[in-house]
Structure 1
């Protein structure tokens, strides 16, 4: 008996034992197809396909699965195996709709085959479509029917090539659009794409290249979340990028990560929460201008997270008239950067946050300059320290002198502070007695607010 036959016999024995455990008329083999499909849907597609060898009854049940995911590396790099699996799934498919279809595939010379697969999936009223396609030998042009789908609600396209779209686009049900590594071909096609998504609620753009474009506006009245991550994308030599205008939307969340290769502008738009992260700074004045332009458009934000190792450089090189006022900002979070409390950029920024209530330093805080006056007060003192700042969280605290100095200044300057939480860094090498002594110093520091409570939390 060869290995393949032993494997089939083994799986049949496992199935028989499962049936015996269930027993009687309620055995697994007597379950209705719809329930078996429900069970199989909990398995990865590759494993669900393998159940076809268990019996005649099971041979085609997997072809009715609502969710089909074909990821090349999960097929042990056997390209032919994946191709055959996709072909079988679509050829043997009955009338049942496909709710979710995912394909990750090295296309090579099979662009026409892939388009046939996509067209077949669309005929089954797919709602969630994910296409991660790489290694093209020929130019890629996705089927026109994709861009006219009335059932598609979620679309993810990862295509590291020129993104060609038809002249007519109508995604009447599309709620979420993710584009990764695509190269937009021209202003008109990009504008057609975003204009054809009338009910869009989420946009995610990862490593996209806008270098062939000069201007595009994104106006989706129901848009709630917008994420841009420039990744490793590069602009063409001599290009200053594209102006991308977000027009007439009220976002719940906006996120930007990159080097401002392109120019982003909010016009008659707003966001409740925003995250800004700069990867690196090569052209300081250029980045300063574009950052401040973006922040001006986000000036009504309530929750802002800054992830920037060059925050001081960017702010101190920006023109004063470009610095926006954040009159609605209540929560300011600094991530992935240890903040210098004496940073002129930080103090300038806090001057324009008159209603700030919560200040969070995720990577710790220190005072490395002499910008605090001899009496331990910041100069100039931000208005929020006098009127609104109620809570400060400091994470990754290590207990060194610069951190203690910063905490002393914070506690003395914040006049309406209610609570300060200090979280010790999990990796810090401090003796328990030393930590206890430092905690006592923190608890004994003088405070500008008589109602301020200091809490020191040890790392778990």
Structure 2
């Protein structure tokens, strides 16, 4: 037993003898509270954690509950960490996950964010409770070193021009803007963005999302929609209607909520020359004209997913029997229908894909879990009678 203890000490001494840089790299994989705990190991480790280039704070009420006021103690620890660091040391990554029942003060969030913005920050993740959008982040829109920006449960009120020349990944979830074109200003200020995710965007005051403002598209770039040339992946879910599809037409991977767009015209669904994987989400009704327009305008499409999580109204699906989209006879490999209800239009669409695609390998149909076994058996019999050239999977 004593021998094992001595071996452990020798191993620890061997690690402690490493230079600061690899030790800080090791500590960067820990949350800041865990990294701070290593200060008790020895004198060698006492101040090492204050030089780690990443700060990762995750509020756990259980940890701080023994200290009286959990939120206050958590915020105090963040301040203590920032003050303990050498101001000349860079902070490359800052992650804050703060989901508490009490509101976090705007001033505190701004102090923390403004501090890291002055330290060469590259990755900034702010995850706040979606019900506490009282936190304002102001200077993020003028940071030239940011590469990854992920915001949740925040207000972004930008009064200065957006300038994020290094940003490649932008994720927004339950974020509130002052005006509708603010999200366009934000995206437009990211010239090399590669990954865009915007889920459940809010605006101050009431917005009628059914009324698409023509001036929004025109505002995007001096009267014309500016295409994001480096964009590879986009996820535009409900309440993000103001991002024109033409702006993201270079993507390879796209997730889109169909109910935020009207029945397509030529200027609504553009050509997607690079798109290989698309997920169309349905909340209210299946916009079949948009579905067909996507197939028509995506010549390189390989994977198609239709996710009808809501109860779809059975709008008529009437494809042109004399027209087959280019993708169905070139690179189309997989088609998936999630939350399948077995409506007449869904069945017609499944038949249309299986009959006309010469390259399709797998058609996967996942029925609504709440449907009865009798309803699922009826669906399976209908699908089994469909002529097909691919493997049919029914779940």
TM-score, normalised with respect to structure 2: 0.70
Determine which of 64, 74, 85 is the counterpart of 2:77.
Answer: 85
- Matched with 2:26 is 39
Deviation larger for 265-274 or 170-179: 265-274
- Matched with 1:353 is 325
Aligned 8 A contact 1:354 1:388 in 2: no
Aligned 8 A contact 1:333 1:360 in 2: yes
- Matched with 1:333 is 304
Does structure 1 residue 404 correspond to structure 2 residue 381? yes
3-state SS of the aligned residue for 2:35?
Answer: helix
- Matched with 1:439 is none
Deviation larger for 178-187 or 199-208: 178-187
| TM-superposed deviation, 1:65 | 1.4
More strand by share: 1
- 1:14-413 to structure 2, matched below 5 A, reads 20-23=7-10, 26-73=13-60, 75-76=63-64, 78-94=70-86, 95-105=88-98, 108=103, 110-133=105-128, 141-142=136-137, 144=139, 146-161=140-155, 163-186=156-179, 190-210=183-203, 235-236=206-207, 240=211, 242=213, 245=217, 247-250=226-229, 251-258=231-238, 264-266=244-246, 269-278=249-258, 289=262, 296-298=269-271, 300=273, 301-308=275-282, 312=286, 314-315=287-288, 325-326=296-297, 328=299, 330-331=301-302, 333-337=304-308, 344-345=316-317, 347=319, 351-356=323-328, 357-363=332-338, 385=355, 388-396=358-366, 400-411=377-388
Structure 1 pair 354–132 and aligned structure 2 pair: CA distance change class (3 A): closer
Deviation larger for 394-403 or 88-97: 394-403
Structure 1 pair 311–52 and aligned structure 2 pair: CA distance change class (3 A): same
3-state SS of the aligned residue for 2:94?
Answer: strand
Q: Distance in 2 between matches of 1:188 and 1:383?
A: 38
- Matched with 1:432 is none
Deviations 1:380-439 (A, max 9, x none): x9598457344343355998354233233223xxxxx3xx224464xxxxxxxxxxxxxx
| TM-superposed deviation, 1:69 | 0.8
Aligned 8 A contact 1:167 1:189 in 2: no
| TM-superposed deviation, 1:362 | 4.5
- Structure 1 gap ranges (5+): 1-15, 213-234, 282-286, 373-377, 412-416, 426-460
Structure 1 pair 252–407 and aligned structure 2 pair: CA distance change class (3 A): farther
| TM-superposed deviation, 1:57 | 3.4
| TM-superposed deviation, 1:354 | 4.2
CA RMSD of aligned residues (A): 4.6
Deviations 1:171-191 (A, max 9, x none): 232222223323222367555
Q: What is the number of residues matched between the two proteins?
A: 361
Q: Distance in 2 between matches of 1:238 and 1:199?
A: 29
3-state SS of the aligned residue for 1:266?
Answer: helix
Deviations 1:291-339 (A, max 9, x none): 6678622565444333437665x337x8x9x89833615435344459x
| TM-superposed deviation, 1:50 | 1.8
Deviations 1:268-301 (A, max 9, x none): 94444433345xx7xxxxx672566786225654
- Structure 2 gap ranges (5+): 218-224, 368-372
Structure 1 pair 353–114 and aligned structure 2 pair: CA distance change class (3 A): same
3-state SS of the aligned residue for 1:258?
Answer: coil
Q: Distance in 2 between matches of 1:76 and 1:99?
A: 27
Deviations 1:221-246 (A, max 9, x none): xxxxxxxxxxxxxx536983556545
Q: Distance in 2 between matches of 1:370 and 1:125?
A: 54
Q: Distance in 1 between matches of 2:208 and 2:233?
A: 32
Structure 1 pair 50–388 and aligned structure 2 pair: CA distance change class (3 A): same
